Amino acid sequence: MKAGAAGMKQDRIGGVVSIAVGAGSLVEAAILYPFRLNSTSGDFVMPGVVGALLVVMGLLLVFVVKTPPFEIERPDRKAGIQMLGTIVILFAYWWAISELGYVIGTVLASFGLFKVVSGYGWIRAAVYAGIITLVLYVVLIQLLNIALPTGIFNV
Amino acid sequence: MNSLGMLLGGFANALTPANLLMALIGVLIGSLAGMIPGIGPTPAIAILMPFTTALGPVQGIIMLAGIYYGAVYGGSTTAILLGIPAELQAVPVTLDGYPLAKQGKGGPALGIAAISSFVAGVLGVLGLIFFAPLLAAQALKFGPPEYFALMILTLTVIVNLSGASVAKGLVMGLAGYLVSMVGVGPSSGHARFTFGLAPLSAGVEMVSVIIGLFAISEVIIGMGSRTPVTAAEKIGSVYPSRADLKHTAPTMVRSGLIGFFLGLLPGASPAVSAFLSYDVEKRLSKNPGQFGKGELRGVAAPEAAGNATASSGFIPLFTLGIPSSPPLAILLAGLMIYGLQPGPNLFQQSGSFVWAVIASMFIGNVMLVVLHLPLVGIWVKLTQIPLRVLKPIVLILCVVGVYTVRNSMFDVLVAIIFGVIGYFLRKYHWPLVPFILCFMLGPLTELSFVQSMSISNGSLSIFFTSPIALVILILAAVLFAVSVFLMRRSRKRALSLEADRPDLPISIHTN
């Protein structure tokens, strides 16, 4: 494959996604049409116009427009694991703040991130996680008086 | 009250000890975040913006202004010392700044950059004082059709913010409009695009989207790419000599004026004026061959022009609601969080608050020079902090920052999801700023359109029978064409520089 050709192929796929999203928006416009104020005004207009333009732009990207070529830099195995691990930890952090509270959630999440992202050992990651949690606790809760979730342990 | 009186009132408001402290903290934090290689000004402002909401409106916006100036200048520090321009605007600064740093003259280059930024900032404030009353006087003539035309004019900015492909930028802008429609429709009150999820009825929070797209995705994508980090050399004295100042003073004024007047045009970005002024100085120079090898004028010209455009860019931002650069787009979001709606009525409705903001920008600029020159040794060391130490901290700050805006865990979830989406968009070179711009302006665009249609009983001719709306629409078409021309020219220059100067570790973020 020529250099940059992969990027152009991805742009065509992006065009297809644009068409699909635009079609979804047109469907929403059709659902909202009965609640119109008049034929050119109401909540259906913007979804309709934006949906139609997305379909048109998508078609242009797929069939007409030649976007500038670009290289897609794929992450190596280690970086891929780091990225995936980071995303999993972020979602887990979101859950942990609600259920376990901000303090426990932040200790666990920052420990995980220092392990996965920074590649630190257990002890160093734990120390850094403790420091970060403590500093943020003092700044956010003590100084700025921000109310953060306390979770089932009320911490 | 005249604008000078209003400005003095703004200074009185901004110069209290507590507000000065906020400006100081903002400049310090902004500088630190902006100069970390791999983060850069736009994500830095995005990460720090939510925390300012814990403060009162005036203090929050003052800190935000400090963060803005600090982050933008911090980006220049990285460009000069490490040869890593975080944004397109910083590329010409790198061309001569980095060779100067390698020659042990990084200090004077940083000093000239700081002084150029200050001169440009002052020009911007003076311009606001002059132009704001003129535009504010026109404010009462703006009704829904004129506002809608203004929103169309804003679309011309997408050309400058689209990166390599205008078509992809337009798709992203449309997607931004689409996401802005999530929630309850303005005319019928019926839910749109909520898919039966109750939290979506309140719409998608702007800060969540910004943090996800600009901060979380930046950290994730940084894991897969290797940012070339070069150790900074000894930088020498940061205070430029009298000869250096004499040598660069005409350049600062010339480039500042070029940047200032370009910034008045909605659609002209700091990147355009930075490249243009660099070319102008090179043509005017008696030693054009010295440019690219370590010429102080090569630092002063793009720095002054880019910052003058960024400063005068506040005029279209405040009076028309049109941001000219990615950091200004994020700042626009910050203003909107505080209930300010940039546009023709801004000076009428929130005059004292706006003048306090303008005064605080001036103060932020002064603090920048005062702080950066004596503390440059510390800043240099900070550029050497390994990114792997900072990434976990940045991610934790993103999550907590998003939560603090509305105390909503749903917003946190939205930010993480947009972080993942942002990663793929960046990976495949889909520009993010058009998305966020249209997302921010979507509600006003729709509201002004619906109101216009109600006034005209559904006739689209209302946009062509209103003289102001018609002029704005014609201007939009002209600016669209001019922007395409200027941006293509700047991009060609950047690409040819990348090809010609493989010695420079240039990696331009077009997102």
**Helix, strand, coil % (nearest 5) of chain A?**
70, 0, 25
pLDDT for position A133: 93
Taking the C-alpha atoms of residue B221 and residue B38, their distance in angstroms, rounded to an integer, is: 10
With contact defined as beta carbons under 8 Å apart, do B1 and B348 qualify? Answer: no
Distance from CA of B163 to the nearest CA of A (A): 10
Q: Which residues of B touch A145 (CB under 8 A)?
A: 54
d(CA B178, CA A21): 9
Interface test with B, best of A10, A64, A65, A94 (most B CBs within 10 A): A94
CB contacts, 8 Å: A60 with chain B: 167
- Interface contacts (A, B; CB < 8 Å): 189
Sorted by where each begins, the domain ranges of chain B are: 3-227+235-500
Q: Is A23 touching B (CB cutoff 8 A)?
A: no
**Cα diameter, chain B:** 70
Interface of B with A in 256-315 (CB under 8 A): none
The proportion of chain A whose per-residue pLDDT surpasses 70, expressed as a percent, equals 95
Q: Which helix (H) or strand (E) holds B184?
A: strand B183-184
| Rounded Cα distance, A17 and A10, in Å | 10
Q: Which of residues 95-124 of B touch A (CB under 8 A)?
A: none
Q: What is the rounded CA–CA span in Å between residue B438 and residue A3?
A: 32
Q: Does A40 touch chain B (CB under 8 A)?
A: yes
Tokens of B468: 């102001």
Q: Is the dihedral of CA B7, B10, B12, B17 positive or negative?
A: negative
Residue B263's Cα: distance from chain center in Å? Answer: 12
Query: Residue ranges per domain, chain A?
Result: 5-64, 77-143
Cα separation, B112 vs B296, in Å, equals 8
Q: What is the number of residues in chain B?
A: 511
Q: Which of B170, B190, B220 sits opposite A86 (nearest CB)?
A: B220
Residue A7 clears pLDDT 70, i.e. is over it: no
Q: How far is B301 from chain A (nearest CA, A)?
A: 30
Question: B399 vs A93: CB contact, 8 Å cut-off?
Answer: yes
Q: Is B484 on the interface with A (CB under 8 A)?
A: no
Tens digits of pLDDT across chain B (511 residues): 577 788 888 888 888 888 888 888 888 888 887 777 666 677 777 888 888 877 877 788 788 878 877 877 777 887 888 777 766 677 788 888 888 888 888 888 888 888 888 888 787 777 877 776 676 676 667 788 988 888 888 777 676 666 668 889 899 999 999 999 999 988 888 899 999 888 999 899 888 998 899 889 988 988 866 555 555 556 777 788 889 889 999 999 899 888 888 877 665 667 778 888 888 888 888 888 888 888 999 999 988 888 888 778 777 788 777 787 777 788 888 888 877 777 777 777 787 778 887 888 788 888 888 877 777 777 777 777 777 888 899 899 889 888 888 889 999 999 999 999 999 998 888 988 889 888 988 888 898 888 898 888 888 889 999 898 999 899 888 888 887 777 677 766 666 666 665 555 444 444 4
What is the structure's pLDDT at B506?
44
Instruction: Give the rounded percent of residues in chain A with a pLDDT score beyond 90.
Output: 62
Q: What local confidence, expressed as pLDDT, does residue B417 receive?
A: 97
B67, B30 in Cβ contact below 8 A?
yes
Helices (H) and strands (E) in chain A, counts: 5, 0
Q: Does B410 touch chain A (CB under 8 A)?
A: no
Q: How crowded is residue B9: how many other Cβ atoms within 10 Å of its Cβ? A: 16
pLDDT tens-digit map of A10-65: 889 999 999 999 999 999 999 999 988 888 888 999 999 999 999 999 999 999 88
- Alpha-carbon distance B286 to B302, whole Å? 18
List the one residue out of B93, B39, B42, B36 whose CA is nearest residue B67: B42
Q: Tell how far CA B199 is from the center of its chain.
A: 30
Distance between CA atoms of residues B509 and B212, nearest Å:
17
A21/B contact by beta carbon, under 8 A: yes
Query: Does the pLDDT of residue A136 top 50, yes or no?
Result: yes
Judged by phi (left if over 0) then psi (alpha if -120 to 50, else beta), residue B201 lies in alpha
State the average pLDDT over residues A107-127.
Answer: 94
Cα(B113)–Cα(B96) distance, integer angstroms:
11
Q: Is B192 on the interface with A (CB under 8 A)?
A: yes
Tokens of B197: 């999820």
CA distance linking residue A69 with residue B198, whole number of Å: 42
Position B160 scores a pLDDT of 64
Cβ within 8 Å, pair A136-B181 = no
Contact between A90 and B419 using a beta-carbon 8 Å cutoff: yes
Mutation site for B-interface testing, chosen from A8, A17, A46 by largest number of B Cβ within 10 Å: A46
Q: What is the pLDDT of residue B421?
A: 96
Hey, which residues does A41 pair with through a beta bridge? A38
Write down the pLDDT at residue B511: 43
Any B CB within 8 A of A62 CB = no
Q: What is the pLDDT of residue A114?
A: 95
Q: Reduce the DSSP state of residue B410 to 3 states and report it.
A: helix
Residues of A in contact with B430 (CB under 8 A): 14
Interface ipTM above 0.95: no
**Over the stretch A66-100, which tens digit does the pLDDT of each residue have?**
877 777 778 888 889 999 999 999 999 999 999 99
Residue B172 near residue B164, CB atoms below 8 Å: no
Among A10, A80, A106, beta carbon nearest to B396: A106
Q: Which among B410, B429, B347, B371 is positioned nearest to B197, based on CA atoms?
A: B410
